[in-house]
Amino acid sequence: MAREFTRVGVVGLGTMGAGIVEVFARNGLDVTAVEISDAALERGRVTLTGSTDRAVAKGKLAEADRDALMARVDFRVGLDALHDVDLVIEAVPEHLDLKQRIFAELDRVCKPEAILATNTSSLSVTEISVATTRPNQVIGIHFFNPAPVMKLVEVVRTVVTSAEVVADVEALCERLGKVDVTISDRAGFIANALLFGYLNHAVGMFEARYATREDIDAAMKLGCGLPMGPLALMDLIGLDTAYEILDTMYRRGGRDRRHAPAPLLKQMVTAGLLGRKSGRGFYTYERPGSPKVVADEHTPPAGDAALADGARVVAKVGVVGSGTMATGIIEVFAKAGYEVISVTRGAEKSAKVCEAVKTSLNKGVVRGKLSEVDRDAALGRITWSATLEHLADVDLVVEAVVEELSVKKALFASLDEICKPGVVLATTTSSLPVIDVAMATQRPADVVGLHFFNPAPIMPLVEIVQTIRTSTETSATARAVCAKLGKTGVVCGDRSGFIVNALLFPYLNDAVKMLEASYSTADDIDYAMKLGCGYPMGPFELLDVVGLDVSLAIQRELYLELREPGFAPAPLLEHLVTAGYLGRKSGRGFRDHTNR
């Protein structure tokens, strides 16, 4: 039987601490809420009152329940008020010496059987616990912000935390309506260990001027379905907090260079650019603490005019390929009003592509997203062909053939001979160097990458990949075309993985390494990222959907180009691919899909 908690204590009433107080009080627990001074205590009271009042205004909390909740909270100054609590959770700033002093004092004040918990997101729970005479009763209970909303709690046990304490805390999490994942004391735990490597990589990408802040954030939101882009998320977390977490993970986690804070991050913290709380970070905000972004000197010009500046006229488009991606791209261009010539290898493939496009358009009609008139008009704009010579008078060619460099280079050499001068030649490659394709032609200035995401008719993102030979007119044309298609075009350089894959796949690889090290289970890692970070899919769900062979190939390309040791493919990923466990398409990957 798990112990019954009747009164709990919370030390530190900042945003996180006040949120934890609310979680406990909402679920019928009496709470002693402690701060260091009367002024700090009043700020905590205001934070809690504001949160509960907003919940009432939104209809998520009845006024009577709000009043009962507030009545359960005893606001006090000083740790001596915690002498009779059954559990106390500390939520003060992430400084080890501060936490150790507090825990030494809690050890003196609290009754012998009380559990002492820390909400640390990055520091060693073990190092905190040794400041007490009861390290077996010290545990990590890591809530996520905002605590009343976020479902995940990481329960962090040290090597000496008693099994009874772990079981009691797990039962408490269930009572609070939270999903807990129980893990051992390692830098970053699950969510931060996976999240902050990705965030730091995004900062490095911005620091290198590989892409703009807007394009990096748009790419990850639209390409991966994430709730926020990485740079906007850094501003929300606080750049000083992010720096401390990364620095701690670097020092405690084996000195992985990818966790060494990007130099720009340190410079911004030193300059007082801390994100939303200071009014300026990667973005500029209306005022300190405001979520509203306002234009600054780095904000790109708005409107189609800016996109079209220097762009060539595109009326007729050729699409080469017969796979799923080519089919989707044909549909996208035809629906947007372009004349399209579809070129495949043979009449039989053309017939299949034609049927697939018709089926997709008919589905749009059935779902009420497309009228029959518009469907017929789109089909009427498409010409089906089995010969490249029919592309002689198009304004843009989009290649969507197999991901083999030799095949693409041979195709582009042929297009170079067939197409008229000034035609933009685009490749949809997701992993190969665009410059290699461009140099197969005598017109590399006219070659650009247009990386559509699958399924192309639905996914709103296109990565526009500029090589060092791509002309400004070609890039402007690509951006104008994406705008007419109703897509968000993000511009980046010709580097392995572009934006999305370069940020996404190292994160997935890190998750595989975490599983490989037996730190946690695939289910708990997926829960952590979905419930703790708001990701639409956990890393192992996503890997099985993408295909482990595809993921391995992309990770190998990233490693070969960047030579970063942390990017080396996880051995477990390589072994699963060798064994034929490729994910959903083979029936088994990280999970068995044969009976689903």
Which sequence positions are flagged as catalytic?
A: 121, 142, 154, 192
Question: How many Cβ atoms are within 10 Å of 407's Cβ, its own excluded?
Answer: 12
Question: How many Cβ atoms are within 10 Å of 245's Cβ, its own excluded?
Answer: 27
As a whole number of angstroms, the distance between CA 546 and CA 512 comes to 14
The answer to whether residues 44 and 14 touch, using CB atoms and an 8 Å cutoff, is: yes
Question: How many Cβ atoms are within 10 Å of 429's Cβ, its own excluded?
Answer: 22
Residue 379, CA distances (Å) to 351, 384, 482 in order: 13, 10, 20
Bond prior to 455 in cis (omega within 30° of 0): yes
Instruction: Give the residue from 226, 241, 311 showing the smallest Cα distance to 276.
Output: 241
Token duo for residue 171: 């039962």
Q: Is 465 left (phi over 0), alpha (psi -120 to 50) or beta?
A: beta
Residue 572, CA distances (Å) to 531, 578, 590 in order: 25, 10, 10
- Neighbouring residues of 39: CB distance < 8 A, sequence distance ≥ 6: none
123, with CB counted inside 10 A (0-12, 13-18, 19+), is buried
Instruction: Give the residue from 143, 3, 229 showing the smallest Cα distance to 532.
Output: 143
